[in-house]
Amino acid sequence: MENNEQKKVVLSLIQPTGTPTLGNYLGAFKNWKAMSQEYACLFGAADLHSITVRTAPADLKKRTIDLFAILLAMGLDPEKNIIFCQSHVPAHAQLGWILDCYTQFGEASRMTQFKDKSAKHADNVNLGLFTYPTLMAADILLYNADYVPIGADQKQHLELTRDIANRFNGLYGDFFKVPEPFIGKAGARVMSLQEPAKKMSKSDTNQKSFILVTEDPNAIVKKIKSAVTDSEARVYYSEDKPGVSNLMEIYSACTGKSFDEITAEFEGKGYGDFKAAVAEAVVEELRPLQTEYAKLIKDKAYLEECARNGAEKASRIADRTVRKCMKKVGFWQY
C-alpha cells in the first residue's frame, strides 16, 4: 500500500456469514484481481458487522478464517494489497462511535436494510443493527477510500457515508474524502438455479439453488444438471427463458463467450449437452481457487502471519485518521 500512494484507493469488506457463492465470485470477486493491479486496494473480512445477528463463537471464528483464506486463494497478493480482518483494527469501532454522534437518528431510521433485517430477526433487534451503517461509514472513511464497490442493497449506506463525511467537513474543514461508488467491469448477475427469478443466495433453504466456491466438483455438476430450464430445448438468451439465460450468464462469465457464440455452439443440441458444458466450465473456473484454498486452510501459521501483517498495515492508516479526527473534534491528546 505504501508504494501505491499515487493510485486511487478502493475498499471492499465482506461479511463472513458463510462460504461465498458462485454468484458472489462471478458477480464481484472475479474482477478483484484485475482491480488490484490498477488501484491501491484494501480487502477484508467485516466480522464486526456480522455479530448483529447472533452467531455461535466457533462458527464466527471459522467463517472469518475461511473467508480470509478464500481472499488469498483468489490470487489477491497480500504484499500488493492490504488484506485484513476488521476486528483486528480497533480504529473501526473507535471511529464508528464518533460518527454515531454525527449521524441523525432520522437518517439511521430510514435505512431500508435496518427495516428488512429487523423484520427477519424480530427476536434480536439490537442497536448494532441500527448503527451498522455508521460503522460501515467508519470502515470507508478510515482509509480515505476514493471508491467502494457496492451492490444495490448498499447504495443507501454509501449515500449516508457521503452525508456524514460532508457534515463533518462542513463543521471542521475539509477532512474526510467523500467516497464514490466503484463502477468497474460489470460482473455476471447469477440467479438461483432453482428459482431463476431471484438472486443466488447461500441462505436459500433449497441447497440445490446455489453453488459455494469451495463446493466439491461432483456436487457442482449435479446441481447444474438439476437446474431449472424450460420445455423448449433451445439455447438462446431471452427474458422469457430465465433458467436458460441464467446458465448462459454463468457460462459466458466462465468462458468469455458472448451469448451469440453460446447460442451458435449449442445450435441443434439439447439442454443435456448445454448443462454438461456449463458444469465443466464452472468446475474449471473454480479449480485454481479451490486448490489454493485447500492448501491455505491447512496452514494456520501462514494465515495468522498474513492477518497480522494486514492488520498492521491497515492500522497504520486507520490510527492516523482517528488521531487526526479526534484532534479536529477537540479530544485531549498527548
* Alpha-carbon gap, residue 206 to 223, rounded angstroms: 11
83: left (phi over 0), alpha (psi -120 to 50) or beta: beta
Three-state DSSP class for residue 68: helix
The amino acid sitting at 15 is Q
Note whether 55 and 10 are within 8 A (CB).
no
Q: Which residue has the cell 468497474?
A: 184
Cα-based distances in Å from 85 to 51, 57, 92, 158, 218: 14, 16, 11, 21, 32
| Numbers of helices and strands, H then E, in the chain | 14, 5
Query: Is 328 in the active site?
Result: no
Query: Is 62 in the active site?
Result: no
Query: Is 199 in the active site?
Result: yes
DSSP codes, 86-144: GGG-THHHHHHHHHHTTS-HHHHHT-HHHHHHHHHTGGG--HHHHHHHHHHHHHHHTTT
User: What are residue 82's DSSP bridge partners?
Assistant: 42
| Catalytic residue (choose from 30, 117, 223, 241) | 117
| Catalytic residue (choose from 199, 223, 275, 313) | 199
| Catalytic residue (choose from 8, 33, 177, 202) | 202
- Output b/e per residue, 57-92; b: 16+ Cβ within 10 A: eeebeebbbbbbbbbbbbebebeebbbbbbbbbebb
| 314 burial level (CB within 10 Å; 0-12, 13-18, 19+) | buried
User: What are residue 83's DSSP bridge partners?
Assistant: 43
Annotated catalytic residues are 117, 199, 202
